[in-house]
């Protein structure tokens, strides 16, 4: 049912935790299943230099959060905004149809965190 890559990220999720002094931290939830992702980013000069998260969710949510953290690491904010639920699922070699929605959690947390960071930086300027 799951690809080897999904199982690898599920069994050994990367970048778990919370950044101590994050540039931005955001929590998103899926109202349908109740799964929740807490995502923190460290951003320097428009670039994501650290990504950490805590996930309360299904196996696919764990695997998609893990690979999304690897995909976002080191990217500029503009490039990180190009990470979508589709590109996350593709990077895992695909997800079963009924689990496709799980990749939304990481994609929307990433988008939300970057937007939040930009908004709060605008206010400071």
Active site residues: 33, 102
Alpha-carbon Rg for the chain in angstroms: 14
Count CA within 13 A, CB hemisphere, residue 76: 4
Q: Is 24 in the site for ligand FES (CB under 6 A)?
A: no
Residue 72 tokens, joined: 């976002």
Judged by DSSP in three states, 24 sits in: strand
In the complex with ligand FES, the residue whose CB is nearer, 75 or 99, is 99
Q: How many residues bind ligand FES (CB under 6 A)?
A: 9
Residue 53 tokens, joined: 């998260």
Residue span binding ligand FES (CB under 6 A) among the ranges 27-35, 46-54, 65-73, 80-88: 27-35
In the complex, the smallest distance separating the C-beta of residue 61 from ligand FES, rounded to whole angstroms, is 4
Rounded Cα distance between 117 and 82, Å, is 16
Question: Which residues 31-60 are close enough to bind ligand FES by CB under 6 A?
Answer: 33, 35, 57-58, 60
In the complex with ligand FES, the residue whose CB is nearer, 47 or 101, is 101
Rounded Cα distance between 33 and 59, Å, is 13
User: Which residues of this chain interact with ligand FES, rule CB under 6 A?
Assistant: 30, 33, 35, 57-58, 60-61, 102, 105
């Amino acid at each position: 049912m799951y690809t080897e890559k999904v199982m690898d990220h599920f069994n050994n999720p990367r970048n778990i935790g919370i950044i101590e002094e994050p540039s931005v931290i955001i929590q998103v939830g899926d109202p349908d299943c109740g799964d929740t992702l807490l995502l923190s980013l460290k951003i320097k000069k428009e670039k994501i230099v650290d990504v950490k998260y805590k996930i309360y969710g299904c196996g696919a949510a764990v695997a998609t959060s893990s690979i999304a953290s690897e995909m976002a690491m080191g990217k500029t904010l503009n490039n990180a905004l190009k990470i979508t639920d589709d590109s996350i699922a593709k990077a895992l070699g695909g997800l079963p149809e009924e689990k496709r929605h799980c990749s939304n959690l990481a994609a929307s947390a990433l988008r939300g965190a970057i937007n939040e960071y930009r908004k709060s930086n605008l206010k400071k300027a």
